């Protein structure tokens, strides 16, 4: 078989043919290539290369430009994409590519609300020409409203409605559903209707297409406000579930809402039985009871609600009216108390509250309610009114009287009457008047009449007259009222003005007014008025006021010196009052004034008719003295002095009468009394004093009230006047002379001025500081001006001032101290801070509590004051003690010094136990009075407390001490005699420590309690001692500093008697000191007692050495 030979074509030829064909096809039909269609290459980078190559061959190829723009967008080359988009000529194509670019860029930036987002929404705002790409972009951008329009245009109402809902426009969604609602889309349609506030439409759709669910129907019916539908639904539910409480409540509300009150009340009663404590049921119960006109039931429901604070103001207001109308007083009171507690009550309700008690009774309950109201609101005029009214109507007048000072309510006439009557009935008329003096706004004639009566009872004439004046403005005064008003208003002390006088002339027809006119014409000296009064008196019937008028006219005539007319006027007065002793008395005074001796003697002849007494004695005494009838004068003046012991004029005349009736001693005694009582500023009395007492006695009487200059000029011959004249002349002396004069008179202020003004020499200045008792400052001046002083004055001043300013060391050994104790001491003395200080350190060996002693003391002297402050401490082996003391003395005068002291936890010298382990505190006062340079008296009283150092009280009481001392010899040696008495009275004592049986009182040598000999612990008792003694001394004391005398000594001996123990005792004390070197000295002391504080003999020894530096 013949086979043809195959023809082979090379691969290169084939590839060239394919490329050439493709190029030809692209040139002829470019749209046929895959990358110019909607399908891009999977590799956009490769597609971009092909497209750029193609664009290079055909620069105006719009399809390639669009594809390049889309590929750049895909690659994120937005700038290149923008450049290609700008070359697209078709607006539609350019818009589509630009939209893709904006969407890509917006997505790449995180889909934010930026400019791209805004531009995209603007480009997609019209959904009518959307492409599929536009639709997808609108969904991504959330343009639900545009999407809804798009769906509507596509006839897709369900999707349009959903889009409208997502756009937040349920109204448009409901419109989209209208006409297209079915069972399938019923639920979203109802939701759209409800969200667009068309619940009625939702209910309608449900009723047409729903499944008939009653719960759903009830819910939509309530939202739609379809009462009938709600009622049918609730009733249907209640029929299905008759015992369901929730449905019962729903039906109850429905029935109430639709006015089915009776059936609602029945249903409510069932619910209340099931839930008796449900507040909402009781609130509905109150409403039903109110609507059904069951006020009593409504009040009960309101009380229940108020007890749980669930009642509203409207409910309470209605309930209060119901309780008031039904006379339910207890419930009404509860309502008002609730309103008060909630601070909701009004003044009108407060008034109703209190008026409720008008029927339920007054008493403490009403007062308690008022107090509760005032606690909540504070007192106001309403509560104060009702409180006063309650107290008045309940008859509690004492409480009403106590309430008046704090009453803050409105003071009406009614209220004032309540308070005034409470005082009136208790006969406290002044207080009742004080209440009624608050003039209320509603004051009327009744008020002023009552005030007149109150003022009359209280004796307040001024207020009574004022009340009459006010009463006269409303109801003219007549008769007795007018007479009383004239008596009050126009009394003898009144000074009427023209208006008041005109008032009297208007009532001249009244005898009382005429009497007052006569009086004021006399007082005012009005002659025209007198003549009118005389004319008015003519022809009037006799009366007492007219008699007084004639008496006043007689006064006028007496002032004019017309005694005849005065006598005639008194005769007319006697006609109006024939038996009046007043007229007869006036005739007597007229006789004395006119010196009508026959009438005067006629009075004295009938003296028995005028016995001593308040009415006749002054007249009869005056007439008797005038005629020198001393017997009658004595009787009447004696009575007057008994009634008026302080009347000086009567006593002066009485002294003269006593002398004339032979009672000379009584007259002299009375005159001596009158010398200090007579006024010294009246010449008549001054001359009387001088005549009775003489010049010298008069000077001593008058010097305290009249200046010395006046006394010296009036009595120049007396020594006191001469002394004052010399003193006055001394005002022109030199400084040192003024100093001597001031020291002689004890004038500290003058001396201080001389020092302050540097008017004295250095020596006089130091002496002056010493005199005014400022030794510390004097010693400082001594150190500063020592170089200006001569030798002798310098050393004398130093010695005089040394007790207040010195430095020294003292060493003392006491081998036998108190109670067989032993002590060793070292004291240092030094000046510091204007005081002299003492610091001591010692060792004590006692019976049970050996230890170390420490003392610190500061003594300050300034002018008349001397102050001592001390602190001491005993550090014992068993018990320690720290005490302090303060003593102050003041030189009141040159003779009298007063002092007080306070000691706390000091060492006690009562017995051995207290000395070692106890302590003593106390305070007291003392006085030292120097009778003369030789004699002085010292009195003191102290309160003491004795305790153990652990605080256990032992005893306390008072110690009284008195000492009289007389200096027998003031030269060497100093010899003194003294007598002393001490009384110690211990009050409360600790019975637990007082265990002794045989107590032996012991005197001791100081003011200390007596201790028990059988009980050496803490037993103490009262103690008394009387002693006489004598002291012999060299004149120098034994208290540092020592002044360097060659030797100094002291012997003190006394004998005493103790009344309690009936024992006598003897005490002797001796001290001797010798100068060793300079002011240094050696001191030895010894003391002996026949009976010490423990009732035993006791000897004390002391040896010391004093070093001054």
Please name the residues in contact with 958: beta carbons below 8 A apart, sequence gap of 6 or more: 941, 942, 943, 944, 984, 985, 987
What pLDDT score does 730 carry? 56
Cβ atoms of 764 and 736 within 8 Å: the answer is: yes
Higher pLDDT, 200 or 464: 200
pLDDT beyond 50 at 772: yes
Indicate the pairing of strand 935-948 with strand 918-930: antiparallel
**pLDDT band at residue 791 under the 50/70/90 scheme:** low
What pLDDT score does 1008 carry? 42
**pLDDT band at residue 783 under the 50/70/90 scheme:** confident
**Average pLDDT over the chain, rounded to an integer:** 78
What pLDDT score does 295 carry? 77
pLDDT beyond 90 at 733: no
Residue range 1035-1055: mean pLDDT, rounded: 77
pLDDT beyond 80 at 823: yes
- 1019 pairs with which residues across the strands? none
Cβ atoms of 875 and 909 within 8 Å: the answer is: no
Please name the residues in contact with 231: beta carbons below 8 A apart, sequence gap of 6 or more: 254, 255, 258
- 906 pairs with which residues across the strands? 920
**pLDDT band at residue 937 under the 50/70/90 scheme:** very high
Residue range 95-119: mean pLDDT, rounded: 73
What pLDDT score does 1003 carry? 37
**pLDDT band at residue 962 under the 50/70/90 scheme:** very high
Residue range 640-662: mean pLDDT, rounded: 86
pLDDT in tens, 450-490: 888 787 787 877 787 777 777 777 667 766 667 676 766 66
Range in 53-57, 135-139, 411-415, 745-749 with the lowest mean pLDDT:
745-749
pLDDT beyond 60 at 931: yes
Cβ atoms of 923 and 915 within 8 Å: the answer is: no
% of residues, the chain, pLDDT over 70: 78
- Cα dihedral sign for 414, 416, 419, 423? negative
What are the Cα distances from residue 71, in Å, to 51, 96, 153, 534?
9, 14, 33, 148
**pLDDT band at residue 1014 under the 50/70/90 scheme:** very low
**pLDDT band at residue 697 under the 50/70/90 scheme:** low
What pLDDT score does 34 carry? 46
What is the C-alpha separation between 75 and 582, in angstroms, rounded?
Answer: 147
Residue range 569-578: mean pLDDT, rounded: 89
DSSP codes joined into one string, 668-737: HHHHHHHHTTS-SSSHHHHHHHHHHHHHHHHHHHHTTTS-HHHHHHHSTTSHHHHHHHHHHHGGG--HHH
- Domain 814-1108 -> CATH class: mainly beta
What pLDDT score does 1017 carry? 47
Sort 323 into a burial class: Cβ within 10 Å, 0-12 / 13-18 / 19+.
buried
Sort 540 into a burial class: Cβ within 10 Å, 0-12 / 13-18 / 19+.
middle
What pLDDT score does 391 carry? 82
Range in 1-15, 105-119, 486-500 with the lowest mean pLDDT:
1-15
How wide is the angle at C-alpha 894 spanned by C-alphas 862 and 773, nearest 5°? 20
What pLDDT score does 686 carry? 66
Q: What is the pTM of this model?
A: 0.38
Residue range 715-734: mean pLDDT, rounded: 61
Residue range 879-886: mean pLDDT, rounded: 92
Sort 117 into a burial class: Cβ within 10 Å, 0-12 / 13-18 / 19+.
middle
Residue range 563-573: mean pLDDT, rounded: 90
Residue range 302-310: mean pLDDT, rounded: 74
Check: CATH 1.10.3210 for 26-170?
A: no
DSSP codes joined into one string, 407-450: --S---HHHHHHHHHHHHHTT-HHHHHHHHTS--TT--HHHHHH
Residue range 380-384: mean pLDDT, rounded: 80
What is residue 903's three-state secondary structure? strand
**How many beta carbons lie within 10 A of that of residue 827, not counting itself?**
19
- 1069 pairs with which residues across the strands? 1052, 1087
What pLDDT score does 1037 carry? 64
pLDDT beyond 70 at 1010: no
What is residue 961's three-state secondary structure? strand
What pLDDT score does 925 carry? 97
pLDDT beyond 80 at 1: no
What is the C-alpha separation between 533 and 526, in angstroms, rounded?
Answer: 11
pLDDT in tens, 404-437: 888 888 888 888 888 888 888 888 888 888 888 8
pLDDT beyond 70 at 810: yes
Residue recorded with tokens 């007496």: 558
Instruction: Delimit the domains of the chain by residue range.
Output: 26-170, 733-799, 814-1108
What pLDDT score does 911 carry? 76
Q: What b/e sequence results for 514-538 when a residue is b if at least 16 CB atoms lie within 10 Å of its CB, and e otherwise?
A: bbbbbbbbbbeebeebbebbbebbe
**pLDDT band at residue 1009 under the 50/70/90 scheme:** very low
What is residue 200's three-state secondary structure? helix
Higher pLDDT, 480 or 439: 439
Range in 39-53, 77-91, 414-428 with the lowest mean pLDDT:
39-53
Residue range 788-794: mean pLDDT, rounded: 67
What is the C-alpha separation between 659 and 647, in angstroms, rounded?
Answer: 19
**pLDDT band at residue 721 under the 50/70/90 scheme:** low
């Amino acid at each position: 078989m013949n086979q043809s030979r195959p023809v082979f074509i090379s691969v290169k030829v084939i590839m060239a043919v394919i490329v050439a064909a493709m190029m030809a096809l692209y040139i002829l039909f470019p749209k046929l290539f895959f990358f110019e269609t909607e399908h891009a290459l999977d590799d956009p980078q490769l597609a971009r290369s092909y497209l750029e190559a193609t664009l290079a061959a055909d620069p105006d190829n719009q399809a390639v430009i669009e594809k390049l723009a889309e590929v750049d967008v895909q690659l994120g080359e937005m700038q290149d994409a923008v450049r290609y988009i700008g070359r697209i000529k078709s607006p539609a194509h350019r818009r589509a590519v630009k939209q893709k670019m904006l969407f890509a860029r917006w997505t790449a930036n995180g889909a934010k609300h930026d400019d791209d987002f805004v531009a995209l929404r603007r480009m997609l705002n019209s959904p009518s020409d959307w492409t599929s790409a536009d639709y997808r972009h609108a969904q991504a951008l959330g343009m639900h409203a545009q999407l809804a329009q798009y769906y509507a245009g596509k006839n897709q109402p369900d999707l349009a409605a959903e889009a409208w809902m997502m756009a937040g426009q349920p109204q448009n969604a409901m419109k989209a559903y209208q006409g297209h609602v079915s069972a399938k889309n019923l639920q979203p349609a109802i939701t759209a209707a409800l969200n667009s506030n068309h619940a009625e439409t939702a209910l309608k759709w449900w009723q047409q297409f729903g499944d008939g669910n009653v719960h759903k129907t009830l819910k939509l019916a309530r939202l739609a406000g379809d009462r009938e539908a709600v009622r049918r639904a609730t009733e249907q539910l209640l029929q299905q579930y008759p015992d369901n409480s929730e449905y019962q409540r729903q039906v109850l509300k429905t029935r109430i809402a639709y006015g089915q009150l009776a059936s609602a009340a029945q249903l409510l009663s069932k619910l209340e039985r099931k839930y008796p404590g449900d507040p909402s049921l009781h609130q509905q119960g109150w409403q039903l009871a109110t609507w059904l006109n069951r006020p009593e039931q409504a009040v009960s429901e309101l009380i229940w609600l108020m007890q749980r604070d669930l009642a509203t103001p409207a409910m309470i207001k209605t309930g209060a009216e119901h309780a008031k109308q039904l006379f339910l007083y207890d419930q009404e009171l509860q309502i008002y108390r609730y309103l008060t507690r909630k601070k909701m009550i009004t003044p009108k309700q407060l008034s109703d509250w209190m008026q409720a008690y008008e029927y339920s009774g007054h008493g403490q309950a009403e007062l308690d309610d008022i107090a509760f109201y005032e606690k909540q609101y504070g007192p106001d005029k309403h509560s104060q009114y009702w409180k006063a009214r309650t107290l008045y109507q309940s008859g509690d007048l004492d409480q009403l009287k106590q309430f008046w000072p704090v009453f803050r309510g409105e003071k009406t006439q009614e209220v004032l009457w309540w308070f005034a009557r409470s005082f009136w009935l208790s006969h406290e008329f002044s207080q009742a008047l004080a209440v009624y003096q608050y003039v209320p706004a509603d004051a009327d004639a009744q008020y002023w009449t009552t005030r007149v009566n109150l003022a009359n009872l209280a004796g307040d004439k001024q207020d009574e007259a004022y009340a009459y004046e006010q009463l006269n403005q409303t109801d003219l005064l007549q008769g007795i009222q007018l007479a009383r008003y004239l008596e009050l208003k126009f009394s003898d002390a009144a000074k009427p003005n023209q208006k008041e006088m005109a008032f009297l002339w208007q009532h001249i027809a009244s005898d009382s007014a005429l009497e007052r006119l006569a009086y004021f014409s006399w007082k005012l000296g009005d002659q025209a008025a007198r003549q009118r009064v005389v004319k008015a008196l003519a022809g009037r019937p006799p009366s007492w006021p007219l008699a007084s008028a004639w008496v006043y006219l007689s006064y006028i005539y007496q002032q004019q010196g017309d005694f005849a007319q005065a006598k005639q006027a008194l005769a007319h007065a006697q006609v109006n009052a024939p038996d009046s002793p007043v007229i007869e008395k006036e005739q007597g005074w007229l006789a004395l004034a006119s010196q009508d001796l026959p009438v005067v003697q006629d009075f004295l002849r009938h003296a028995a008719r005028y016995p001593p007494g308040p009415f006749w004695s002054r007249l009869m005494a005056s007439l008797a003295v005038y005629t020198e009838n001393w017997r009658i004068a004595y009787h009447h003046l004696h009575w007057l002095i008994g009634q008026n012991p302080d009347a000086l004029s009567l006593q002066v005349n009485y002294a003269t009468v006593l002398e004339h009736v032979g009672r000379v001693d009584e007259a002299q005694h009375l005159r001596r009394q009158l010398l200090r009582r007579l006024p010294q500023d009246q010449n008549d009395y001054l001359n009387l004093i001088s005549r009775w007492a003489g010049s010298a006695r008069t000077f001593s009487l008058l010097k305290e009230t009249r200046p010395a200059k006046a006394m010296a000029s009036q009595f120049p011959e007396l020594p006191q006047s001469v002394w004052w004249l010399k003193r006055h002349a001394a005002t022109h002396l030199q400084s040192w002379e003024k100093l001597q004069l001031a020291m002689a008179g004890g004038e500290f202020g003058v001396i201080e001025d001389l020092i302050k003004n540097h008017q004295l020499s250095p020596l006089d200045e130091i002496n002056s500081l010493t005199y005014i008792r400022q030794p510390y400052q004097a010693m400082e001046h001594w150190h500063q001006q020592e170089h200006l002083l001569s030798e002798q004055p310098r050393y004398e001043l130093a010695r005089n001032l040394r007790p207040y300013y010195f430095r020294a060391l003292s060493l003392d050994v006491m081998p036998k101290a108190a109670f067989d104790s032993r002590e060793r001491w070292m004291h240092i003395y030094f000046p510091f801070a204007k005081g002299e200080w003492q610091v001591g350190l010692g060792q004590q060996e006692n019976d049970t509590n050996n230890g170390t002693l420490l003392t610190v003391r500061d003594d300050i002297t300034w002018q008349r004051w001397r102050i001592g402050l001390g602190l001491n401490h005993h550090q014992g082996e068993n018990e320690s003690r720290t005490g302090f003391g303060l003593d102050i003395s003041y030189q009141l005068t040159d003779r009298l010094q007063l002092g007080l002291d306070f000691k706390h936890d000091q060492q006690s010298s009562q017995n051995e136990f207290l000395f070692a382990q106890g302590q003593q505190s106390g305070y007291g006062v003392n006085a030292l009075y120097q009778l003369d340079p030789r004699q002085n008296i010292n009195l003191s009283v102290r309160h003491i407390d004795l305790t153990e150092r652990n605080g256990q009280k032992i005893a306390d009481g008072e110690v009284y001490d008195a000492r009289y001392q007389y200096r027998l010899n003031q030269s060497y040696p100093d010899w003194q005699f003294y007598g002393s008495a001490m009384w110690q009275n211990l009050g409360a004592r600790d019975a637990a420590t007082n265990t002794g049986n045989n107590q032996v009182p012991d005197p001791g040598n100081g003011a200390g309690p007596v201790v028990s000999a059988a009980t050496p612990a803490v037993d103490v008792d009262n103690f008394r001692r009387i002693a006489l003694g004598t002291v012999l001394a060299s004149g120098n004391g034994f208290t540092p500093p020592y002044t360097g005398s060659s030797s100094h000594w002291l012997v003190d001996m006394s004998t005493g008697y103790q009344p309690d123990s009936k024992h006598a005792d003897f005490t002797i004390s001796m001290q001797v000191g010798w100068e060793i070197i300079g002011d240094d000295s050696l001191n030895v002391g010894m003391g002996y007692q026949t009976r010490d504080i423990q009732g035993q003999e006791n000897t004390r020894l002391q040896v010391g050495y004093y070093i001054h530096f």
